[in-house]
Amino acid sequence: MSTVHPRDPVEDHVNQPAEKDDGLFDHCPWLYAEQASQEQRAAQERRQKRLVGGTGPGAEPGAASVRLGEGCFVAETAAVYPDHLSLGDRSYIAAHAYVTGEIRTGADCTINPFTVVRGTVTLGNGVRIGAHSSLLAFNHGTSPDLPVHQQPVTSAGITVGDDVWIGSHVVVVDGVSIGDHCVIGAGAVVTKDLPAWTVAAGNPARRIRDRREPRVPATRGAAPRPSLERTVLIEELAAFADGARAQAAGLLDRCRQPGTGRYVDRPGAEPTVRAHCDAVEIAALLLGEEPPHLPAAEHAARLRALQDPATGLVPEYGAAPPVPGPAGLPEDGASAYHVLCVGYALDLLGSSFAHPVHAVRTTTADRLVGHLAELPWRERAWHAGAWVDSWATAAHWNRRLGTEAAAPGALEALFGWLHTHADPWTGMWGSPTPESGRLQMVNGYYRLTRGSFAQFGLPVPYAERVIDTVLDHARDLRYFSPGRENACNVLDVIHPLWLCARQTTHRAEEARAWASAQLTAALRRWHPGRGFSFGPTPDGSGPGREPGLQGTEMWLAIVWLLADLVGLADVLGYRPRGIHRPEPAQPARGTA
């Protein structure tokens, strides 16, 4: 429809009431262009003429000017009383919207049902405003010398760029500019400018991510949580992440030993290789760089120098070189875990081991299969799974260095043995015990699959049975009741649930409910300026309840996994890239 001066004469029938219909197009105006009858189109034309002419039912006396582009639709029930309104082509105002002030839109803009747009508001092209949202481009004064109703009104205006989606129940306050290509989540309250490509949510709205960044697909079959609960959790996650980032440098300073420059897990503890690696992981997550005490190259040089050239293993500070086991790796001890933490710390620093892990590179398939059969799966499944984790990770680092992972056929033999020995009833290796229930079996499953199936990008066998087993274990009050959870036990549940959710939707709602409850509890475990504690253990071993680097490194990864399972990991603004990285470290190929 062409522009008409507000005082131009209109047709004789303009004062006649509009024809009645079922209100479909008022509430779903996007259907009007293709589905409206000639009678309905005539009614819409009369509606627009009344609006443009400023006379008749639905018109605002004295309206300054109204201009409607081609293909526009204005609902009969919309309260449109502007000082100026300019709608671009193919734009619409839906049922019960309330529009006043100076409103200008580009083409293809939508003001959906029950939306309020008031003040001086400018929309670019392709702006979608969800139902029940409010763009309030004016404000009252709050001086104490006058009642509120007598306060002067100001209007700085709201500007929205092109290609913007504003979700339902969003409030945008006066003075805000929203850049091109932004997405605003439902229920957000936008109080500050948002740069182009921002995805934001919460009250006040916070940046979640850049819309151009790749996003991990949501869990198949995921159902949204109730809006209010989800909004609260988004706010808590964002506040936690902001606080953790602000405190990260001080937390690392607290755990650096004066004089030696080595890292300790917590003040008063002895320095360990793992503490240095945990510091690297924490800095990468929260600061996006190496620990600030040394350049990345110096951190890497210190860690590389610890590797024993003969075996490729890394002993603890001051310890003798490790003695390889029957299939290449020791069964227990720090050197087995150092294959993981030192290797990934070096990777985060842009470096790598100086030498292959010779103790694994020379392992034959026969020796490996024989040793797998001898591991204590029934009574000590965690130790058996941890050994597989270390062996497979050493093979991964060997491949990264361009050498053979192990003797020909050994890596294939590992996955063949694991597939043929997984219990089809539990999906796991090992058995429950009267003393600890499923603890050893589940915890061993995490370690085993982390280094093998997850690290090499392979699907796990019997994923649905794994979920059954893990959810049953998560009800064991010996390990999962207030005051008893520790980082190891929570990690060893969430990682299998997260990993298997990539293959199946089996019991997805239960898994998300468990993750949501654990996520809320985990955020409350943060100690300002000190980080996370590992948590209590039945035998009193490990870091315990004192906040330190190990607990912080593990819980940061746990929080991400929990948040990702409920679809909120983007809020955190960090993503594990080391030991707990969600992507395969090295996809499997046909040969070792």
- Which residues form the catalytic set? 140
Read off the amino acid at residue 288.
Answer: G
Sort residue 119 into left (φ over 0), alpha (ψ -120 to 50) or beta.
left
Neighbours of 81 (CB within 10 A): 18
Sort residue 74 into left (φ over 0), alpha (ψ -120 to 50) or beta.
beta
Read off the amino acid at residue 110.
Answer: T
Please provide the DSSP assignment of 227-292 as one string.
HHHHHHHHHHHHHHHHHHHHHHHHHHHHTB-TTT--BBSSTTSPB-HHHHHHHHHHHHHHTSSS-T
CA 497 to chain centre: 16
CA dist., res. 583 & res. 22, Å (int) = 52
- Phi/psi at 325 (5° precision): -90, -175
Composition of the chain by helix, strand, coil, percent to 5 = 40, 15, 50
CA 454 to chain centre: 19
Query: Contact, 94 vs 29, CB < 8 A?
Result: yes
Q: Extract the tokens encoding 335.
A: 């050197």
- Unique residue bearing structure tokens 């003695």: 323
Task: For the chain, state the CA radius of gyration.
Answer: 31
CA dist., res. 493 & res. 446, Å (int) = 8
CA dist., res. 54 & res. 477, Å (int) = 71
Q: Is 589 exposed, middle or buried (0-12, 13-18, 19+ CB in 10 A)?
A: exposed
Handedness of CA 53, 55, 59, 60 (dihedral sign): positive
Q: Extract the tokens encoding 453.
A: 């199936």
Cβ neighbours of residue 220 under 8 Å, at least 6 residues apart?
Answer: 501, 505, 508
- Phi/psi at 137 (5° precision): -95, 50
